[in-house]
Structure 1
Amino acid sequence: MKPTIGEHVFQAILVLSISLLCIATIYPFLHIASVSLSSPSEASRFGFHLYPREIDFFAWNQVLSQTKIWTGFGNSVFRTVVGTLLTLVAMSLCAYPLSRKYLPHRSFYTMIILFTMFFGGGIIPTYLLMKWLHLMNSVWVYVVPGLVPTFSMLVLRNFFMGIPTELEESAKIDGANDIRILFSIILPLSKPVLATLALWTAVGHWNSWFDAVLYITDQNKQVLQFFLREIVITNTDAETFGRTVVGNLKYAPAIKAATIMFAALPILIIYPFLQKYFVKGTMIGSLKG
């Protein structure tokens, strides 16, 4: 059938809306990248920055030469990699039994876990709990408290419920136990949703900084986002860079932009490799209740 005028208008509005959304998404990234590579006068210029008119790598050299930036980067990598792997294992061990109808009181256990999604103890009780668990000033405080995110675990549980039980029954006939079934059959079939949840978890770990402010006092255990906050919001490090090198703050805008780019690049590099699983894993994991 030939499209009607209304359909053409709708398509035009849809394309225009998506184009504006893409521009609004891409421009901040281009702006920060341009400022980070610009000279002090160009970085301080008011207006749009789509590309650097005067290229200057001084800000990047300063950021990459800072020891604490690399220390924070290493701690963030440790937190992201170890935290994501342990979270996927813990979620799988929790979601698999909850997805099986023969588990006694399955609905009761699910409701208890779901309760934690809406109600929490608050900052002070959580702080005291971390202190009693001896996690204060430890890198494991980044990983242990959020080991099983409720929403992600429920998405994984729903995905497991969609896997035919005949596969599990056949494996049990061949003598496989539940652990073998989980790691040899269920998880290999769950790559799309696992990749999606891994991306969610990794981005959450990489962007987190508030727990570092609450529980960590040792600068050698701080994450990159903590130092990024110090540079962008409090200006502490930007002032230090500027006064040390040129005696004023003229490089502060470029240093802030370079630090933001340095913190964002790892996720931007990883995302394309997981993007093909993203939509498929989210949709499949959210269909079954």
Structure 2
Amino acid sequence: MKKNRGTSLNIGLQPHFCWMKNKLKLPSLADKLILIFRIVVFVTFTTYASISIAADDYFKSYSVLLEGGDVDGWEVSAYQVKEADYSVYPAKLCFKKEAKNVCHSIIKKLGRYQYPFQMVNSLTPLPKNAGVHGVLVKSDHTGTVDGLFAIDIWVYDSKRIGFVNILPNCVLAGVGEYQLISSEVPQVGRGLMLITAERLWRAGEGIDSAHKYQIAIYTISGKGSSKILEYSTSKLYGGESTEVENIIDAELPEILKKIIVIH
């Protein structure tokens, strides 16, 4: 099964993507088993989430020192419990500078349920020439069929004197993709864009089948994020005869064409 990929490039453009609208069509028995599993996870999490665990139960998994503008000198660190897989305890993201240290638990509400994202996979400072300072955070949730991952973008808000998440609801299945692109397309202007790709399911398709993908493009700035384009690919990707290394790379000519049209 193809794992999710995340990259950063500069091709006269750079990307962002979000929460799954397209549900996997499963046989009724599998549907019931997944529903039971989600209920168990939800009940377990809501039962134990309020129980505080000692600070030494968490360890620092990632840390990065930000540079430039308002974020200069801020240290961003990710913490998780020692046995994070299938844990009910979410990872924590902490922003520290001098005496100030503010932490946030990584929990996502998907539909009626809240899911703990137990592990931070990467912390990536935004490109220095992007016109916005901050960090991209990729976190993982274990406990679903394909797994889930979230993309958060935290930028510094001088009015609040702290960091805010301008992309709080971007969650993809584990086989999804994303790219962060610094845009230099004349019709679009300079700045950051996030591109995401999520597998679509149609009747009769299996895990090993070729699939269409849902592409979403967001602009990123100090003021927030905005989805400017979303479409389904005309091509099928995956399967034995149509495997490509990266769906977003394969779709970039079409993405650029569509972005230029809407601008």
The answer to whether the superposition gives a TM-score over 0.5 is no
Normalised by the size of structure 2, how large is the TM-score?
A: 0.24
Normalised by the size of structure 1, how large is the TM-score?
A: 0.22
Name the larger-Rg structure: 1
Q: Which structure: greater helix fraction?
A: 1
Greater RCO (Cα-Cα under 8 Å, separation 6 or more) = 1
Q: Which structure: greater strand fraction?
A: 2
